Amino acid sequence: MRRLLNPRLIIAAIIAIIAIITYYSKTEVNPITGEKQKVSLTQEQEIVLGIQSAPHMIEQMGGEVSDPKIEAMVEQVGQKIVNSTEAGKSKYKFDFHVLADPKTVNAFALPGGQIFITMGLLNLLSTEDQLAGVLGHEIGHVVQRHSVEQMEKAQGANIGVNLACILTSICNSGIASTAINVA
């Protein structure tokens, strides 16, 4: 006799249904932007995640600058933006870090308000307004919860890879392991 339903298909369908229900049950309205977002972390959890991740990021990028004047200037400009915008009304605790790396031209934000700028980028800026533009952009990522949204998307990608593994034998080939590590 022929089997009517493949067990792999049943398992994949159950996982897909659970994933869809979980995804749509995470809808939250961003208190700053008013945008509906699919996120599972609270703002408090984001803050903790950012604070816990900051030392690793600092170490990975060669440490922070040791010039108190540069640190104070970046902190002052950053806090001025926070205090004069809706970001100041958020729960986020904004901390500004200047990374010592003179070659990397970058600025980025971690969840919860940890903002970083490299000396490589800072050296290219000639005015405080340019610095304010960079820091304001990164503050925007925090209040719009972009890091958390990216984490949710990565989690969804991993679920997709796992479903593909269940439906095929790709998991045993090692290809899926590579795909999971990339996501």
pLDDT score at 39: 75
The two three-digit tokens of residue 134, written as one number: 């960079």
Q: Are residues 71 and 153 in the same domain?
A: no
pLDDT score at 176: 47
The secondary structure of 150-180 as a DSSP string is HHHHHHHHHHHHHHHHHHSSGGGGTHHHHHH
Q: Are residues 139 and 66 in the same domain?
A: yes
Q: Are residues 48 and 135 in the same domain?
A: yes
pLDDT score at 163: 63
Using one digit for the tens of pLDDT, what is the confidence trace for 31-63? 777 787 777 778 898 899 999 999 999 999 999
100: domain range? 41-144
Residue 109 falls inside a structural domain: yes
Q: Find all residues with CB under 8 Å of 77, minimum gap 6, and list them.
A: 96, 128, 131, 132, 135
Using one digit for the tens of pLDDT, what is the confidence trace for 80-133? 999 999 999 999 999 999 999 999 999 999 999 999 999 999 999 999 999 999
Whether 38 contacts 149, CB under 8 Å: yes
Q: Are residues 80 and 134 in the same domain?
A: yes
Using one digit for the tens of pLDDT, what is the confidence trace for 122-149? 999 999 999 999 999 999 999 988 777 7
Q: Are residues 85 and 102 in the same domain?
A: yes
Q: Are residues 127 and 114 in the same domain?
A: yes
Q: Are residues 96 and 138 in the same domain?
A: yes
Residue 83 falls inside a structural domain: yes
**How many distinct structural domains can be found in the chain?**
2
